[in-house]
Chain A
Amino acid sequence: MRSVSVIGAGLSKFGERWETSFRELIYEASLNAMEDARIEGKDIQALYGGSMAPGRLIGQEHIGALIADQLGLNPIPSVRVEAACASGGVALRQAYHAIASDAYDIVAVGGVEKMTEVSTEEVATALGGAGDQEWELFLGATFPAIYALMARRHMLEYGTTEEQMALCSVKNHANAVHNPYAQYRKAISVEQVMESGYIAEPLKLLDCSPITDGAAALILCASDMAKKYSDTPIHIAASAQASDTLALDDRRTLSALEATRYAAKEAFKQAKMTPKDIPLAEVHDCFSIAEIMAIEDLGFFKKGKGGKAVQDGETQLNSRLSINTSGGLKACGHPVGATGIKQAVEITWQLRQQAGKRQVANAEVGLAHNVGGSGATAVVHIFKRGD
């Protein structure tokens, strides 16, 4: 397979974008990525866009065609990819394969979600579709409830505490202060998390990622051509994906995501690396407990030691392993279809040393981990500077 590199990266501002429509978000992020790559529309040969639930959230389907139309790129092929909250990560993987397989030389891949058009209950129902509609959502299980069921087992099996979970949110908010694209550029304290009110016990409001509007975009290019467009192309060293049962109750363990473990193992094999080689990662913290499970399941910390690692500050900016420098889903925001691409954008900026006050010193390798639903899909990408 051909080697693939990122030559352009862009985001829209994340947040409650009342004044901005779905298609305007796409335009904002895509224009930023195209200007960053210094390419013209005519250079792009195909489009891939991750979006989870536009049918429910804005009443719009046929997103592939909408993207090509909005960007003035007809008649090139354009595909919407859906894998719940991993829609962005899976779209990136499709775009990666489109170049790796020699079908195209340059493609654009993005992710978008417009979530503030409907009520919170309607968002909860739409996101509930990421689980098992008939055997979870139908019975009243929301996504916070599903992750709360995992948190309860993790606490029982490994002694993880609500304070350790709260510290993930505190750290991610501290990182987001330095991210101009983040939804919440505001530091919070453990006390604020602990007093923020239960959504689904033991998860509280500030353990949960917010409802966000936003878009993200990348321009990918065959690595042997990348230097023509970028002085610092970022090489995609691995792209791996795994699947697990749609419903949580069908899994033998609730305190780990097996799909994350499989995808990580495969990604490290492709990149010829081990977890020890990674100084920087964007992990899928849709809930605080998800970040603790992710840093264990990706192999950064032993199973059950994730909460302690967070408590000891081992995942803070410029510590042993900088986790979620963007602010993560919690503080940067979680426009579900955009998240997987936003993670890759953040890693790209970090590896190019363009992350400002949240820059990880001398980072040459970074990992992005994107999860769909309660772990039925997991995607892991590893990025590397240079080559």
Chain B
Amino acid sequence: MVGTQPLIWRRIPERYRLHGSKCLTCNAEFFPQRQFCPNCRRKGKLVKEHMPMDGTIYSYTYVHSAPEGFEYHVPYFMAIIELKNGVRLMSQLADSEPESVKINASVRMVFRRVHESEAEEAIAYGYKFKVVD
């Protein structure tokens, strides 16, 4: 079970709107949201913070062999995106020509279908990133 309905629903703020966290004590930013600053621990104070939608590709791979729920998506790009604020996240790339996918290429968040679970008849939506000029 890759994504049950409650799991999909619970993560809407992050997956739809890139809500992360910022620590007011050390100014570090995090995605996904954290309950606890790993730098400051109990001296930290975390508040909700919108992550920037723009960034660059830090690393990428073209996936040819998929896990359950992604059998019909292959091949697809997975990348680690470094956002403008330095926070990194894992994402699929969408609508990007294979020759445009390079380390340091500029990318922007887009809203897409991530996967569907046949067993739960649930479709998960969320962020992907797209190479921009």
Instruction: Mark A residues whose CB is within 8 Å of B.
Output: 120-122, 124-125, 128, 133-142, 144-145, 148-150, 152-153, 156, 197-203, 247-250, 254
Are B67 and A125 neighbours in the complex by a CB distance under 8 Å? yes
Q: Mark B50-62, 1 if CB is under 8 A from A, else 0.
A: 0000000011111
Give B69-80 as 1s and 0s: 1 = Cβ < 8 Å from A's Cβ atoms. 111010010111
How many A-B residue pairs lie within 8 Å, measured between CB atoms?
A: 105
**B114 contacts A254, C-beta separation under 8 Å:** no
The answer to whether B114 touches A138 (Cβ under 8 A) is: yes
A156 to B57, CA, bound (A): 13
* Chain A positions within 8 Å of B67 at CB level: 121, 124-125, 128, 137, 140, 142
Nearest B residue (CB) for A245: B38
Contacts of B70 in A (CB 8 A): 140
With most chain B CB atoms within 10 A of its CB, the pick from A133, A153, A250 is A250
Chain B interfacial residues counted at CB < 8 A: 34
| Residue of B11, B32, B59, B67 most packed against chain A (CB within 10 A) | B67
Q: How far is the CA of A152 from the CA of B32 in the complex (A)?
A: 24
Q: How far is the CA of A240 from the CA of B11 in the complex (A)?
A: 36
* Interchain CB contact under 8 A, A140 and B65: no
Within 8 Å by CB of B11, from A121, A122, A134, A200, lies A134
Known: A135-B32, A249-B90. A121 touches B103 (CB 8 A): no
Would A140 and B63 count as touching, CB distance under 8 A? Answer: yes
Interface residues of B in 74-92 (CB under 8 A from A): 76, 78-80, 88-92
State whether the Cβ of B66 lies closer than 8 Å to any Cβ in chain A: yes
Task: Determine if A121 and B66 form an interchain contact, defined as CB atoms under 8 angstroms apart.
Answer: yes
30 pairs from A and B in contact (CB 8 Å cutoff): A124-B68, A125-B69, A133-B2, A134-B32, A137-B67, A139-B91, A139-B126, A140-B66, A140-B78, A140-B114, A141-B63, A141-B78, A142-B63, A145-B61, A145-B63, A148-B63, A149-B60, A149-B79, A152-B59, A152-B60, A152-B61, A153-B59, A198-B62, A198-B64, A200-B61, A200-B62, A203-B61, A249-B80, A249-B88, A254-B80
Closest to B80 in A: A249
CB of B115 within 8 Å of the partner chain: yes
Taking A121-B68, A135-B90, A137-B2 as known contacts, 10 extra A-B pairs with beta carbons closer than 8 A to each other, sorted by chain A number, are A125-B69, A128-B67, A134-B7, A134-B11, A134-B32, A139-B126, A142-B63, A153-B59, A156-B103, A249-B88
Interface of B is mostly: strand
- From B7, B59, B91, B115, A254 is in contact (CB under 8 Å) with B59
B3 contacts chain A at the CB level, 8 A cutoff: yes
Contact of B124 among A138, A149, A150 (CB under 8 A): A138
How far is B124's CA from A139's CA once the two chains are assembled, in angstroms? 9
| Residues of B with C-beta under 8 A to A122 | 68
Partner pick for B66 among A124, A135, A152, A153, CB 8 A cutoff = A124
Q: Which 6 A-B pairs have the closest CB atoms?
A: A148-B61, A124-B67, A201-B62, A149-B59, A249-B88, A125-B68
Residues of B within 8 A of A139 (CB): 78, 90-92, 114, 126
CA distance A135 to B103 in the complex (A): 21
Tell me, rounded to whole Å, the shortest Cβ–Cβ distance linking A202 to chain B: 8
How far, in whole Å, are A121 and B78 apart by their CA atoms in the complex?
Answer: 17
B115, A140: Cβ atoms closer than 8 Å: yes
Expressed in whole angstroms, the minimum distance between the Cβ of A151 and any Cβ of chain B is: 8
Closest B residue to A123 by CB, please name it: B67
CB-nearest residue of chain A to B81: A249
Question: Closest residue of chain A to B89, judged by CB?
Answer: A249
Which residues of B in the span 1-39 have a Cβ within 8 Å of any Cβ on A? 2-3, 7, 11, 32
Q: Are A199 and B64 in contact (CB under 8 A)?
A: yes
B90 and A136 form a contact (CB under 8 A): yes
Residues of chain B within 8 A of A145, CB atoms compared: 61, 63, 78
A40–B13 CA distance with the chains assembled, in angstroms? 59
Contacts of A142 in B (CB 8 A): 63, 65-67
A132 to chain B, nearest CB (A): 8
**Whole-angstrom distance between the Cβ of B122 and the nearest chain A Cβ:** 12
Cα–Cα distance between A148 and B63 once the two chains are bound (Å) = 9
A145 to B64 alpha-carbon distance, docked (Å): 9
